[in-house]
């Protein structure tokens, strides 16, 4: 293959990946919202724990939803199990699932693969939720976590947290990655103005 043909193939691949990320449902706000924050997070990630309170503050300030996606990294030994537990609590209510995630972030340094189950049992008891002995017997919750991870991979994620401000507009840039979290509020303002 000559250099010109190789360059053309490379440009087509990059263009295809860009168009897939533009049309990805992951980078759109939920139905009824014009702007939202989308985050791909790993429950064992220290930087995700630092980002979570800021995202919550922004959501309350602007009255916009935060859409959370699981993106457990292979290097974190209990992240996948924690994501499955969070999905279990989501089945009781999304509010309880998100509270579990935030509680994990607050106590991250105390948690290990060995004591995660005990931590989840204590949380379940505080929420008056039964925690079954086997959390995910058919693997349905793990499949949901994997679907989120695959979604993140499809848009080229390689770190956590990856945070986007997204809008439902069809012209201009419908999403922007938040690279500098100190700019989060300005990015939301700009997205709300339609910039």
Which pLDDT score, from 0 to 100, does residue 11 have?
35
The CA distance from 178 to 161, in Å, is 10
pLDDT tens for each residue of 134-159: 999 999 999 999 999 999 999 999 89
pLDDT in tens, 93-108: 999 999 999 999 999 9
At residue 169 the predicted structure's pLDDT band, cuts being 50, 70 and 90, is confident
Q: Is the pLDDT of residue 10 over 50?
A: no
What's the burial of 14, exposed, middle or buried (CB within 10 Å: 0-12/13-18/19+)?
exposed
In angstroms, how far is the first alpha carbon of the chain from the final one? Answer: 42
pTM of the model: 0.84
- What's the Cα-to-Cα distance from 17 to each of 4, 57, 164, rounded to whole Å? 20, 32, 17
pLDDT tens across 39-73, in order?
999 999 999 999 999 999 999 999 999 999 999 99
Q: Peptide bond preceding 161: is omega within 30 degrees of 0, i.e. cis?
A: yes
* Domains located in the chain, CATH noted: 24-193 (3.40.30.10)
Does pLDDT of 17 surpass 70? no
Would you place residue 9 in the very low, low, confident or very high pLDDT band (cuts 50, 70, 90)?
Answer: very low
């Amino acid at each position: 293959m000559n250099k010109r043909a190789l360059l053309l193939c490379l440009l087509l691949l990059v263009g295809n990946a860009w168009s897939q990320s533009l049309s990805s449902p992951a980078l759109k706000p939920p139905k009824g919202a014009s702007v939202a924050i989308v985050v791909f997070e790993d429950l064992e990630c220290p930087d995700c724990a630092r980002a979570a309170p800021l995202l919550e503050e922004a959501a309350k300030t602007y009255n916009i939803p935060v859409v959370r996606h699981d993106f457990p990294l292979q290097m974190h030994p209990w992240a996948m199990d924690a994501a499955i537990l969070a999905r279990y609590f989501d089945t009781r209510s999304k509010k309880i699932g998100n509270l579990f995630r935030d509680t994990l972030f607050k106590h991250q340094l105390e948690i290990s693969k060995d004591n995660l189950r005990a931590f989840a049992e204590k949380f379940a008891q505080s929420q008056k939720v039964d925690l079954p002995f086997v959390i995910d017997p058919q693997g349905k919750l793990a499949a949901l976590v994997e679907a989120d991870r695959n979604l993140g991979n499809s848009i080229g994620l390689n770190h956590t947290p990856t945070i986007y401000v997204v809008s439902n507009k069809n012209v201009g840039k419908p999403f922007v990655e938040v690279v500098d979290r100190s700019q989060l509020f300005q990015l939301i303002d700009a997205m709300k103005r339609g910039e």
